[in-house]
Amino acid sequence: MNSIHGHEVMRMMVETGETYSREGLRRAIQERFGLEARFHTCSAENMDADALIDFLAARGKFIEEPAGFGMSPDHICDHE
């Protein structure tokens, strides 16, 4: 199984422009990338959707909003 870079999830969030609850983001990730998808970033690998959400939140990638959190294109680095 190929690993998907976390940037792809971040881009998905920017494209939709939605504000997500944690559960809503998990569902959106699973719908788009599949239930068994694994993710990696520049410094972590073999993460499921929950682990990726935790990872991105811990690094301040999400924009906190009253209804949940969103994503800004400015929070996506350009390297792979």
How big is the CA angle at 18 (ends 68 and 4), to the nearest 5 degrees?
95
Tokens of 32: 């788009």
Residue 75: the pLDDT is 61
Residues of the chain with pLDDT under 70: 1, 75-80
Domains assigned to the chain: 3-73 (1.10.10)
Query: Which runs of consecutive H residues, i.e. helices, occur in 34-74?
Result: 49-58
